[in-house]
Structure 1
Amino acid sequence: MIIDLPSTTTSQVNKKLVELRETGGAVALGRVLTLVIVTGDGTEVEKSIQAANDASREHPCRVIVVARGAREAAPRLDAQIRIGGDAGASEVVVLRLYGPLADEGAGSVVPLLLPDAPVVAWWPSDAPECPAKDPIGALSHRRITDAAAEEDPIRALQDRVESYVDGDTDLAWTRLTSWRAMLAAAMDLPPYEGVTAATVSGAADSPSTDLLAAWLAEYLDIPVQRLDHPRGPGIVSAVLERPSGNIEIVRPDGKVGMLTQPGQPDRRVALQRREVRDCLAEELRRLDADEIYEATLRGLGKILRGEPETEQQPEAES
């Protein structure tokens, strides 16, 4: 069910939500958090809502979409409430803000937050340089960005390094979960040797490739080469050097990888590039600070400042 409320106020939106709850159309008691999505007033709105609906099947929540429209328009708030089949396991409130209201998203969000429930803010793209200082970010226990969706992904990742506050995370980091699990599992097999160096290859504009290189450098305390690879998108390969032979994962097509290591047969491993909905669902599982992500950003900051031995070089197409 979709209910449109053109030229309305947050008070009227709240009144309508209460009315729907009393008539049995929506139940807020089972919601575990409020997810606030901040985006432009374009096609990205529906894509973000769909991802949130899919994630809400694991994390029932109230979804508030702050869609900022033209700032040159007359001040106006158009709202839309979605429940039932149009809202997954959540209830969705879309706020389209125009004119001066476009910069007042936090004021429109506060009256609609679920009482005594955590708040998570998500910027599918165009995130502020410092999410924690953004008015909506300041309301949130957790702040999710996506450097890969920015116009300049590497610059956006550098902003994450400089602005990190407990509660921040980025979907470029979440996309690494399978890679990190595969590499950690491979190192747990015989001959149990230490890794002496590593090489990570990927697209030049892949923030996940930079984060994987920084994670390896920070936690293994080894020199790591970050190579640009024309095969992209995303990460193409990771090689861990050991005295008895290298551990190598190569994923040339963004779908299936090949794991090679001494004393073991070559294995095909599932490394399909993760959908936004899956990354979002993973990040909603925790509301505390991600210490490993923080340490990785700290390591990446050292790399950007040229402190460790890690280096970046172009790789010739083979």
Structure 2
Amino acid sequence: MKIDLTDTTSSQINKALVQGRRAIGTPAVGMVLTLVIVTDEEDAYDSLKAAEEASHEHPSRTLVVIKRHARTLRDRTSSRLDAEVRVGADAGTGETVMLRLYGDVADHADSVVLPLLLPDAPVVVWWPVDAPDNPSRDPLGALAQRRITDLYAVEVPLAVLETRVSSYAPGDTDLAWTRLTPWRSLLAAALDQARIPVTSAAVESEAGNPSAELLARWLGSRLEVPVERVVTDGPVVTAVRLGTAKGEIVIDRPEGPLATLTLPDQPPRTIALKVRPTSELIAEELRRLDADEMYAIALRGEAAGRNTRRV
């Protein structure tokens, strides 16, 4: 069910949510959090689709905040809030409210969103694009327990990564880090199996890949060895090589969903290591709402003095 509201208020939107639930006979129970997506019109569809797929694991109220850019003098002086309320089959397993903010109201999005948050439930804010330099100090970010950004959505990700270091606050995370979960799990399992001290490390990826940089910093901090960055044609992270006295531990994924794991004195093994869609990344982030300490460690890992070469 969809309800369109023009030049509306947060109070009227809440009434529309109640009206929609009554119309389809669904009570407001079972939702575990409020997910606020701050995006533009161009990226709203893909972001909402990912959130709706993630809602099958995490039923939530999803608020999509779209700040409309003023194109004329009338646009700049006209302040208006339009909304589209979706419940039932049109909203995954929860509720969705599309919020389009015009004029001065766009500068006070937190005031619009605050009355629409589920009571006594966690709040997560996700910026698929155009994230603020300091997410925790953003008015919307300040409402949330978790704040999700994506370094893959910026033009110079490694430069923005450095601003994330200085602005980090508990609750911040980035999908560039979430994409590394399968790599981190495999590397931890390989090291547990090999039980050999690591003396060197190298991460191979396309140039400027933020996930590769975070992975290198994490490895350097955890293993206390220098980590070489090796530039390849990609795509994304293609290999990790850990040097030991008995030979290399290697996870190699040049392309496709499969990788090769090689341990010293053992034959190579083929393992699944696919590139996951955004919906899976968001679902993973919604599973835990406490501070991600490993992300903080990787973010602040030593970047100076690194060696980079191209193969």
TM-score (norm 1): 0.93
Gaps of 5+ in 2: none
User: SS at the partner of 1:196?
Assistant: strand
Structure 1 partner of 2:205: 202
Moved more, 159-168 or 23-32: 23-32
Partner of 1:18: 18
Shift of 1:225: 0.5
2:37 corresponds to: 37
Q: What corresponds to 1:62 in structure 2? A: 61
Three-state SS of the structure 2 residue aligned to 1:135 is coil
How far has the Cα of 1:67 moved from its partner? 0.8
The aligned amino acid for 2:290 is D
Counterparts of 1:66 and 1:254, CA distance in 2: 35
Q: Contact 2:231–2:310 (CA<8 Å) still a contact in 1?
A: yes
After superposition, the C-alpha distances for 1:168-205 in whole angstroms (9 at most, x for unaligned) are 00010000000011111111114x21000100011112
Measured in 2, the distance between the counterparts of 1:242 and 1:200 equals 15
Aligned letter for 1:12?
Q
Q: Distance in 2 between matches of 1:314 and 1:197?
A: 15
The offset of 1:255, in angstroms, is: 2.5
CA contact (8 A) 1:25 1:83 kept: no
Q: Which residue of 1 aligns with 2:242?
A: 240
Aligned to 1:178: 182
Q: Distance in 2 between matches of 1:277 and 1:50?
A: 8
Matches within 5 A, 1:94-173: 94-173=98-177
Give the SS at the match of 2:7. coil
Q: Which amino acid aligns with 2:124?
A: V
Q: Which amino acid aligns with 2:265?
A: G
Amino acid at match of 1:166: P
The AA in structure 1 aligned to 2:60 is: C
Matched AA of 1:212: L
Q: Is the 8 A contact 2:240 2:252 kept in 1?
A: yes
For residues 209 and 182 of structure 1, what CA distance do their matches in structure 2 show?
15
Worse-matched range after superposition: 133-142 or 98-107: 98-107
Equivalent position amino acid for 2:156 in 1: D
- Does residue 83 in structure 1 map to residue 82 in structure 2? no
Q: Does structure 1 residue 188 correspond to structure 2 residue 192?
A: yes
8 Å Cα contact 2:3-2:16 kept in structure 1: no
Q: Which moved more, 1:72-81 or 1:120-129?
A: 72-81
1:263-294 deviation line (CA, Å, top 9, x unaligned): 22211111111111101000001111111111
- Letter paired with 1:53: E
CA–CA distance in structure 2, aligned partners of residues 21 and 275 of structure 1: 30
1:221 aligns with 2:229: no
Structure 1 residue runs of 4 or more that deviate by more than 4 Å after TM superposition: none
Please give the per-residue CA displacement for 1:130-155, whole angstroms capped at 9, x wherever unaligned.
00000000010110111111222222
Aligned length: 306
Tell me, what secondary structure is at the counterpart of 2:165?
A: helix
> SS where residue 246 of structure 1 aligns?
strand
For the aligned residues, what is the CA RMSD? Answer: 1.3
